[in-house]
Each structure stands twice: as C-alpha cells, then as structure tokens.
C-alpha cells in the first residue's frame, strides 16, 4: 500500500506572515555559480558574525587544518564551553553545514555551533568540506570521511571522548552525515570502517535520495510525492534542487548508492545503526525521503526520534525568532544530541512528533 505523508504539508499562519516580507525569488540561477556563492557566503557570514557576538565570550574556539586523501586540506573549527574544564574529555559533535554543496563557510556556522557547544556540553567540530562547482561528487563525501578519521587521530588535542562521537548536519550536511554513518556501519569506507562506531546521528532537513532516480526509489512507495506537492515551495523549490544537483555532476547513480540514495537501504542494512534524530520540514520537497528513512530505521529497531516542523519550508531556521519553528529546530538538535548520547532504547514504532 502506497504511503501518503501529505497531512504534513501546507503553510502555517506564522510562515505566511514571514513570507510576505520576502523577495519573490530565492537565488538568481543565471549567475555564475562562483559569483553567486561569493555573494551568498558574504551575506551569511555577516549575519553570523553579528550573532556570534552573543556567544563568543562563552566558548573557546580553535582552528585546525585537516589533510585530505587527495593531498589537499580542509578547514575545521572547534567550540567548547568555557564552563568545561579543559582537561575534561567531552563528547564530540561533528557538524556538517548545509548549502546545497555550493554555499557555506566556517564562519557562517559559528553562532549555531557555539550555541550547541554551550547547550550540550560537547566539543563541536565544524568541518568545512569542499564545494561545487570546483569540487563535484564525491569530494564532499570523502572530505567528511577524512574529517572523521582526523578527529579520531586528534582526539587528545581537542579533548574529546572517542566513544561518544555524534555526527550531524543540515540539508547537504545531513546527507553527508547519513552517508558517513551508513557507510561506516556497512564497512564500505576504508577510512572509517575500523574507527570506533559513531554514537549517533542528527539529520536535519536531510536529502536522502538522488533526484535523477527518485521515481524508481522513494517515488515507488508514495501515493503522492512531496516533490510534486512542494514543487514551488519557498526557500527550496524543485528548480533550486535541480540547480544544486547539476553542479554535483553525479549523473544517474545506482539505486543502492550509499552516498546519494541512502533512503533505498534495506531493513537488514540499517539494523544496528546508532540512535538517530530527524528534523523534517513540512513545506519541503525533501520531506518524504526524510520520513521514509525515519520509518525504515524506526521499524528496524534503530532508536529514532522524528520531529516534523509543520507549516514551514526547508532552511526556515534563518528567520530566527520570527518563527517558533526556529526554536523547535534548535531543540531538535541540542536535545537530540543529549538523547542519542543517553543510549536510548528502540521502540520499533514509527512515530512523528509535531512540536
């Protein structure tokens, strides 16, 4: 029987009020991607720098350079609450930012990473994987694997606990986190398979299916797809997903590809995955693949917490206090990290929380 998640669609009154204040379009897709990236990153960094003023006195921040398998390096930054003794070994949250694999910098994530470090008592490792158009698929995936390996090699330096590493991210970063976790679990990555098992994963508004093969994967299980329902959604309409996807140059991946088609894993393959938190937006083309993966994990006896941000689009966190859903997002991450670290028990049931 086909699944139908359309009851989670439709805009909230609060969102409609915010939407009236926004420009008609999202990104100018006629621009050179590098020029567009520079402009978007500059705006994000400016807003983040202002927000970081509130958190800066409360965290120790340190920058690192991580070597990659192709002889290059990527940037990383840690955040640690000043209330934590520097000698104490803390759980680690390895964070991967969103931005369609095109946007994102270390600085653009400063306030959220600092807030998470303060609220959870973890060391947050913010990893700036490489971006399109210069670095197409699968560079970002390899960078995330190399970052996890580097983290375990440098656990003493950052004061982390190797048995309590949680990986997570937003949007594109959530796809990297989900793939990293699944591939380590299946022993598919030489770099990560012998590392200590991850303690959990936090997947916020995650893309978990390749658009080019969607109809053969999630599409076969759905009565009507969130790609159809939310084709013209704010923030992330279908045409923006197509734009980001085209820059990855991944073609038509195999339906069982564990980097792009994570949602198509079998129950047997996901059994034994670490506790997993999902945060999924109702007005998002990506909604249904998130719900399908959450259902798969829940019913495979993986401890799973699934929160649905009803009435709001992909990436709504950028609107801050204008939306109650922003608070729900932050709680989903911070409480989620503490939840996975508590070694929760599985229920075997797929339940969706509507905050």
CATH no. for residue 70?
3.40.50.1820
- CB-count exposure of residue 337 (10 Å: 0-12, 13-18, 19+): buried
Q: For residue 275, what pLDDT is reported? A: 98
Asked if pLDDT for residue 24 goes beyond 80, the answer is no
Angle made by CA atoms 106, 108, 114, in degrees to the nearest 5: 80
Averaged pLDDT for residues 29-42: 96
Comparing C-alpha atoms, which of 264, 258, 290 is closest to residue 276?
A: 290
Helix (H, G, I), strand (E, B) or coil at 307: strand
pLDDT band per the 50, 70, 90 thresholds, residue 141: very high
Residue 18 lies in a domain: yes
Residue 164 — φ and ψ, nearest 5°? -130, 55
Following DSSP, what letter does each residue of 19-51 receive, concatenated?
A: HTTS-S-S--TTS-HHHHHHHHHHHHHHHHHHH
Within a domain: 2 = no
**Which pLDDT does position 22 carry in this prediction?**
85
User: What are the tens digits of pLDDT across the range 171-216?
Assistant: 999 999 999 999 999 999 999 999 999 999 999 999 999 999 999 9
Residue 1: inside a domain: no
Residue 213 inside a domain? The answer is yes
Residue 285 belongs to some domain of the structure: yes
CB 140 within 8 A of CB 130: yes
What residues pair up with 3 in beta bridges, in sequence order? 222
pLDDT of res. 316:
96
Asked if residue 1 has pLDDT above 90, the reply is no
Q: What is the DSSP letter of 310?
A: T
What is the spatial distance between Cα 34 and Cα 134, in angstroms, rounded to a whole number?
A: 9
CA atoms of 165 and 36, how far apart (whole Å) = 34
The structure tokens listed for 234 are 């704010």
Closest-CA residue to 289 (of 277, 302, 278) = 278
Question: Could you tell me which residues are beta bridge partners of residue 123?
Answer: 92
Residue 284 CA: distances (Å) to CA of 129, 230, 304: 24, 6, 21
Residues spanned by the domain of 65: 7-353
Give 112-139 pLDDT, tens digit per residue: 999 999 999 999 999 999 999 999 999 9
From the list 197, 189, 125, 126, the residue with the least C-alpha distance to 164 is 197
Residue 85: inside a domain: yes
pLDDT at 65: 98
* CA 333, chain centre distance (Å): 10
Using DSSP bridges, classify how beta strands 73-81 and 123-128 pair: parallel, antiparallel or unpaired: antiparallel
Q: Are 81 and 102 in contact (CB under 8 A)?
A: no
Distance CA 103, CA 225 (A): 27
Give the model's pLDDT for residue 28: 87
Buried b (16+ CB within 10 A) or exposed e, 21-52: eeeeeebeeeeebeebbeebbeebbeebeebb
pLDDT at position 23 is 79
What angle is formed at CA 200 by the lines to CA 157 and CA 137, rounded to 5 degrees?
A: 80
Segments in the chain forming alpha helices (H): 13-19, 33-55, 110-120, 139-153, 155-158, 172-186, 226-229, 238-248, 267-270, 287-299, 324-341
Q: Could you give the number of structural domains in the chain?
A: 1
């Amino acid at each position: 029987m086909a699944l139908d998640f359309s009851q989670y669609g439709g805009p909230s009154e609060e969102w409609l009020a915010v939407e009236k204040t926004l420009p008609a379009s999202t990104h100018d897709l006629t621009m050179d991607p590098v020029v567009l990236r520079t402009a978007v990153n500059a705006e994000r960094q400016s807003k983040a720098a202002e927000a970081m003023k509130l958190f800066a006195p409360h965290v120790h921040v340190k920058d690192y350079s991580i070597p990659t398998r192709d002889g290059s390096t990527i940037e990383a930054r840690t955040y640690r609450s000043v209330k934590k003794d520097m000698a104490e070994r803390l759980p680690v949250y390895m964070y991967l930012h969103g931005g369609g694999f095109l946007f994102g910098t270390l600085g653009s994530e400063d306030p959220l990473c600092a807030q998470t470090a303060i609220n959870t008592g973890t060391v947050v490792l913010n990893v700036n994987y490489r971006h399109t158009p210069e670095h197409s698929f699968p560079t970002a995936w390899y960078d995330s694997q190399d970052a996890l390996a580097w983290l375990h090699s440098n656990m003493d330096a950052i004061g982390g606990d190797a048995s309590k590493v949680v990986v997570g991210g937003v949007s594109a970063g959530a796809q990297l986190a989900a793939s990293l976790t699944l591939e380590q679990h299946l022993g598919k990555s030489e770099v990560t398979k012998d590392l200590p098992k991850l303690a959990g994963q936090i997947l916020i508004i995650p893309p978990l299916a390749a658009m080019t093969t969607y109809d053969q994967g999630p599409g076969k299980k759905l009565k009507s797809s969130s790609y159809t329902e939310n084709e013209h959604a704010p923030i992330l309409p279908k045409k923006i997903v197509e734009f980001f996807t085209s820059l990855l140059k991944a073609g038509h991946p195999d339906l069982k590809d564990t980097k792009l088609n994570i949602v198509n894993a079998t129950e047997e393959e996901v059994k034994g995955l670490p506790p997993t938190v999902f945060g999924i937006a109702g007005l998002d083309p990506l909604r249904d693949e998130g719900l399908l993966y959450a259902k798969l994990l829940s019913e495979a006896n993986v401890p799973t917490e699934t929160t649905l941000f009803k009435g709001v689009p992909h990436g709504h966190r950028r609107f801050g206090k204008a939306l109650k859903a922003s608070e729900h997002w932050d709680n989903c991450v911070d409480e989620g990290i503490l939840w996975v670290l508590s070694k929760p028990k599985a229920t075997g049931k797929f339940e969706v929380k509507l905050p």
